[in-house]
């Protein structure tokens, strides 16, 4: 359990932690000399061997507000310290705003230094706090007189024992808030583990700022301290000190740098977020206005793109909460649910805070209705609920890799989610990709198949003389009715189920039969009669039947594609029945295993050139194989397979 102490300067935060733990968190000489905290201070108290409390003493002076903000991220309980002699101060209220904006829900208010005032003053301060912060638990203490400390310890121990540990899921992530070197060990970095587990020997990726860019370096974990004690591992919610080694220099690692176990984690430059305006903010957010964003221990310049209520947000006094895309100057490794604060660019005042919804937010279409529905889904409490909403409410095609990045979950995490209800193979369709996997609901999948077949049916109706349509033309006709992202998958599924037939790069409905006009039927009948037992050239057909080239092409194109007609060489045509007869004559040759062109010429009763063209066609078909000057029958069944069945008129 992690507790942060916050409050006005010199209200007794450090002395209270010392009274609770015996540790002086003012570790810098300047802090001890001046009697105020400049850097974050840490102390730990073991409870029962299984539980411990980590205390983070954050500086109270306004000049050290940046340090204070970085220290609060990831805490479970806040102790707001108010000195009895001063009472609540402006900085006390500012700290309270920060804690609330960062999502802290569990509070204790400590009235300190009660030994310096009378009981009437203590009750007066008690009333001031109660008016600002109703229903909060308030403790009265004096560290000098050791008054109330035992009661406070009992309260904290009870909270720590009852504290439910965070569910450990996802890749290990930690913002660095302090760095130092240890003799004999090297670089040590500290921070609060935001998610996941870390073990000695694990590989991590250190993201440091170099100029205006992030640099990623692989490091190994040599040693771990968790909650102030030597440990073999650390986990989400714990204060961790990690001794890391790699191609790094201590001079190049600083507060705000980031450690992550995900090798594929990419820095985000756009964060779609839910922003809440502070009650004490001097102004509203301005569309595309410059601000400072505090996330983890990082402070970043950013612009605010107002996603909702853009026209009213800057004017309407009632607008206190809205969706905003923050466009960052430098990328961060963020996750859905991460909290942040927003200050004016001058950093004089806090404007508000919020929570990240989508850390890989798009630039295009960011304010349209479809994107708003996506953000509605992603604002659900966890990855399971968001995925259910995206699939079954929004009917979206979901990239699992993108969901893993949004929620910082591992591949095993996402697979576990998909095995549970309401997912499962009956309700979803999974489509593997090279470095990803797409998922769509079974209902939406079937709807896309219906749309494809419906458009193909309409095309057949409007083009009754044609049998096949080019695949790219079909896709163009569908438009966004079947997303291009899964068009090939939908088409392949229809082909596997024999609902659609494919020939080369063209398709048709399996139930479709082309209907020729009466004139086309008459022309085909004349052509069919002409070609009985003949292998005419196209020019011969046109001359004998009086067709022009365009008419011949239109009449034969579909027949060639459907196997009712075959092309021998470049210009000669043949009916399947004629070719089957010629193949049968080869099979009946006594020397079928070593026949020559002359043998085939005599059997066919054709000229030499025609015979060679037919034999080369049979070779390409796989019926025969050439061995020097002779050929042999390789596979007689090919004739039945490839010439045996044409689609009847």
Concatenated DSSP letters for 453-480?
HHHHHHHHHHTTT---EEHHHHHHHHGG
Ranges 68-82, 408-422, 500-514, 543-557, most confident: 408-422
- Sheet bearing 469-470, strands edge to edge: 469-470, 506-509, 500-503
The Cα 462–Cα 452 span in angstroms is 16
Mean pLDDT (the chain) is 85
Residue/partner pairs of 371-375 with CB below 8 Å, 24 or more apart? 371/307, 372/307, 372/308, 372/323, 375/272, 375/307, 375/323
Confidence of residue 638 (pLDDT cuts 50, 70, 90): confident
Among 473, 265, 454, residue whose Cα is nearest residue 359: 265
The Cα 639–Cα 237 span in angstroms is 72
Per-residue CA distances from 436 to 260, 267, 399 (Å): 20, 19, 7
Confidence of residue 36 (pLDDT cuts 50, 70, 90): very low
The Cα 186–Cα 163 span in angstroms is 35
Cβ atoms of 106 and 78 within 8 Å: the answer is yes
The Cα 467–Cα 556 span in angstroms is 12
Structure tokens at 356: 């990240």
Candidate CATH numbers 3.50.50.60, 2.40.30.10, 3.40.50.2020, 2.130.10.10; the one for domain 173-260? 2.40.30.10
pTM: 0.74
Which is it for strands 630-633 and 321-332: parallel, antiparallel or unpaired?
unpaired
Structure tokens at 484: 């291009």
46 φψ region: left (φ > 0), alpha (ψ -120 to 50), beta (else): beta
Give domain 2-162's CATH architecture. Answer: 3-Layer(aba) Sandwich (3.40)
The Cα 379–Cα 241 span in angstroms is 32
Cβ atoms of 319 and 306 within 8 Å: the answer is no
Give domain 268-367's CATH architecture. Answer: Beta Barrel (2.40)
| Rg of the chain, C-alpha, whole Å | 38
Confidence of residue 552 (pLDDT cuts 50, 70, 90): confident
Cβ atoms of 300 and 328 within 8 Å: the answer is yes
Residue 256 has pLDDT above 90, yes or no: no
The pLDDT tens digits of the residues spanning 262-285 come to: 998 888 899 999 999 988 889 999
Are 393-405+423-515 and 519-643 the same fold in CATH? Answer: yes
Three-class SS state of 339: strand
Question: What are the boundaries of each domain within the chain?
Answer: 2-162, 173-260, 268-367, 393-405+423-515, 519-643
The pLDDT tens digits of the residues spanning 92-148 come to: 787 788 888 888 888 899 999 999 999 999 999 999 999 888 888 999 998 888 888
Per-residue CA distances from 497 to 37, 449, 469, 502 (Å): 72, 11, 19, 12
Confidence of residue 69 (pLDDT cuts 50, 70, 90): low
Element at 485 (helix H, strand E): helix 484-496
The Cα 143–Cα 15 span in angstroms is 7
Structure tokens at 285: 């957010």
Class of domain 519-643: mainly alpha
Helix locations, 497-548, DSSP H: 518-531, 538-545
The Cα 389–Cα 367 span in angstroms is 19
The CATH topology of domain 393-405+423-515 is Arc Repressor Mutant, subunit A (1.10.10)
DSSP secondary structure string for all residues of 39-53: S-EEEEEESSSS-EE
The torsion defined by the Cα of 216, 222, 225 and 231, in degrees rounded to 10, comes to 130
Confidence of residue 66 (pLDDT cuts 50, 70, 90): low
Q: How many CB atoms lie within 10 A of CB 201?
A: 10
Q: Map 52-70 to HEC letters.
A: EEEEEECCCCHHHHHHHHH
Among 298, 307, 248, residue whose Cα is nearest residue 275: 307
Query: Peptide bond preceding 637: is omega within 30 degrees of 0, i.e. cis?
Result: no
């Amino acid at each position: 359990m992690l507790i942060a102490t916050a409050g006005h300067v010199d209200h007794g935060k450090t002395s209270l932690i010392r009274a609770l733990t015996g540790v002086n968190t003012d570790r810098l000489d300047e802090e001890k000399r001046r009697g105020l905290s400049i850097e974050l201070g840490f102390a730990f108290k073991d409870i029962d061997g299984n539980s411990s409390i980590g205390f983070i003493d954050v500086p109270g002076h306004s000049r050290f507000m940046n340090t204070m903000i970085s220290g609060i991220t990831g805490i479970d309980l806040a102790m707001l310290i108010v000195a009895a002699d001063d009472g609540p101060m402006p900085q006390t209220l500012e700290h309270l705003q920060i804690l609330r904006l960062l999502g802290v829900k569990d509070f204790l208010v400590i009235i300190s230094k009660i030994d310096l005032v009378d009981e009437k003053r203590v009750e007066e301060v008690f009333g001031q706090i109660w008016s600002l912060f109703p229903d909060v638990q308030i403790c009265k203490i004096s560290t000098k007189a050791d008054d109330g400390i035992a009661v406070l310890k009992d309260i904290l121990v009870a909270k720590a024992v009852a504290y439910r540990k965070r569910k450990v899921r996802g890749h290990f992530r930690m913002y660095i808030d302090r760095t130092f070197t240890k003799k004999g060990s090297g670089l040590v970095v500290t921070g609060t583990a935001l998610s996941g587990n870390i073990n000695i020997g694990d590989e991590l990726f250190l993201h440091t700022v170099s100029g205006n860019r992030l640099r990623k370096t692989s490091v190994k974990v040599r040693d771990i301290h968790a909650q102030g004690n030597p440990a073999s591992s650390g986990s989400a919610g714990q204060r961790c000190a990690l001794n890391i080694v790699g191609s790094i220099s201590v001079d190049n690692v600083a507060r705000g740098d980031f450690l992550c176990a995900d090798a594929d984690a990419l820095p985000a430059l756009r964060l779609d977020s839910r922003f809440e305006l502070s009650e004490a903010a001097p102004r509203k957010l301005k569309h595309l206005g410059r601000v400072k964003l505090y996330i983890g221990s990082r402070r970043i310049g950013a612009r605010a793109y107002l996603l909702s209520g853009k026209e009213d947000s800057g004017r309407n006094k009632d607008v206190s909460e809205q969706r905003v895309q923050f466009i960052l100057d430098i990328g961060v490794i963020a996750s859905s649910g991460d909290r942040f604060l927003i200050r004016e660019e001058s950093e004089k005042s806090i404007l508000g805070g919020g929570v990240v919804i989508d850390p890989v937010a798009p630039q295009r279409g960011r304010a349209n209705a479809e994107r708003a529905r996506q953000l509605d889904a992603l604002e659900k409490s966890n990855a399971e609920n968001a995925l259910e909403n995206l699939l079954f409410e929004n009917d979206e095609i979901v990239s699992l890799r993108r969901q893993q990045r949004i929620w910082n979950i591992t591949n095993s995490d996402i697979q576990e989610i998909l095995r549970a209800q309401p997912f499962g193979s009956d309700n979803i369709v999974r489509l593997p990709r090279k470095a990803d996997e797409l998922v769509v609901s079974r209902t939406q999948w079937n709807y896309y198949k219906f749309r494809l077949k419906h458009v193909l049916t309409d095309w057949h109706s409007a083009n009754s003389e044609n049998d096949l349509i080019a695949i790219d033309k079909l896709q163009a006709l569908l438009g966004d009715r079947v997303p291009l992202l899964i068009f090939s998958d939908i088409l392949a599924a229809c082909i596997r189920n024999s609902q659609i037939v494919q020939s080369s790069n063209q398709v048709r409905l399996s139930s479709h039969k082309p209907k020729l006009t009466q004139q086309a039927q008459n022309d085909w009948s004349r052509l069919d009669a002409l070609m009985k037992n003949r292998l005419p050239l196209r020019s011969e057909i046109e001359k004998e039947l009086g067709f022009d080239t365009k008419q011949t092409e239109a009449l034969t194109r579909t027949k060639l594609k459907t196997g009712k007609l075959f092309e021998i060489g470049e210009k000669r045509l043949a009916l399947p029945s004629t070719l089957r007869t010629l193949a049968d004559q080869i099979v009946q040759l006594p020397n079928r295993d070593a026949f020559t062109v002359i043998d085939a010429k005599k059997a066919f009763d054709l000229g030499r050139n025609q015979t060679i063209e037919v034999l080369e066609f049979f070779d390409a078909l796989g019926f025969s194989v050439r061995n020097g000057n002779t050929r042999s029958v390789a596979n007689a069944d090919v004739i039945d397979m490839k010439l045996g069945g044409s689609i009847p008129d």
